[in-house]
Amino acid sequence: MAGRDRATMLFTTKYGARPTGLVRAPGRVNLIGEHTDYNGGYVLPMAIERAVWIAFRPRSDRQVILRSEAFVDDARIDLDQLTRGEGWAEYAKGVAWAMEKAGNRLRGWEGVIASDIAMAAGLSSSAALGIAIEVVFAKISDLGWDPASFAQLQQLSENEWVGVRSGIMDPLIVTGAHKGHAMLIDCLTFKGIHILIPPEASIVVMDTGTRRNLIEAGYNRRRSQCETAAARLGVTTLRDVTMTQLDDHKADLEEPLYDCAMHVVSENERTLAAADALRRGSLGEFGSLMNESHASLRDSFGVSSRPLDAIVEVAQT
């Protein structure tokens, strides 16, 4: 059963009535441009057909009650007393906190969440959930919808409430994707360019079967290393560094910092080249750049795994 149908059915079962609204937020894959978003660089993601669905109806108070097919316990949120806790409800609380911090007066609602995005699999399930919740709040509270602004609020909620120092890429592609297109995003200006994916191209997404927790997986440590490298090089972000400049200052960076910086700087160059190749329909060139990206992630940035390396090796043969 499709996600929208499951959300509607579960809502009707729980509340004895059909929902008054239904929203969808897609997952995403990033074709190239890994760990460049929080360094002010370029990324080239695209939305996927899998998504988070929320069936909902408004309440007359400032309470939010959420049920998810993925969790046993409901999330209950008092918008007048937002306090940190534990569990999946923190993602919803973080969204509410960020939206109210931006000056929005939110209204209560109750909803049921259904999703076919695998969690902790690199498909941006958390950003999709957060954006879907934002859309419901916007509809319920009669707020205007601005994709870039709401993407920044989603990032703020993860950074400041949940405790993951995530970048802007995920919320920007979730809010701004176009069907059949990748999106070249400048993560410094938040501007994006939609690039048509050639119809003869097939994008295959494979699951290694391994799962991660961003808070525990060294993500924050890597980000801190990138920030330290940028400071040593006298720039705000690694986006402002060229490969020539990096080589000239190699002595100023110990090995972990240099390796991180080398990946980010070279990945920015690859991402721009890949976007150009995609525009020209040069899929062979695009694939070669993806291969180079994986090698850099594995050898310089240290974020690959044996299952992922094995999948890449099979795909290349």
Residues 6 or more apart whose CB falls under 8 angstroms from that of 284 comprise none
Q: Which two tokens stand for residue 10?
A: 């579960």
Q: Which two tokens stand for residue 298?
A: 């594995």
3-state DSSP assignment of residue 137:
helix
Beta bridge partners of 23: 54
The C-alpha atoms of residue 97 and residue 111 are separated, in whole angstroms, by 18
Q: Is residue 255 classed exposed, middle or buried when 0-12, 13-18 and 19+ CB atoms within 10 A define those classes?
A: exposed
Residues 6 or more apart whose CB falls under 8 angstroms from that of 209 comprise 307
Nearest to 173 by CA among 37, 14, 1: 37
The C-alpha atoms of residue 185 and residue 193 are separated, in whole angstroms, by 7
First to last CA, the chain: 36
- 78 an active-site residue? no
3-state DSSP assignment of residue 244:
helix
What kind and span of H or E run contains 153? Answer: helix 147-156
DSSP state of 183: E
Catalytic residue among 146, 170, 248, 299: 170
Amino acid at 173: I
Nearest to 210 by CA among 129, 306, 297: 306
Residues 6 or more apart whose CB falls under 8 angstroms from that of 174 comprise 25, 26, 27, 28, 47, 124, 127, 128, 131, 151, 154
Annotated catalytic residues are 170
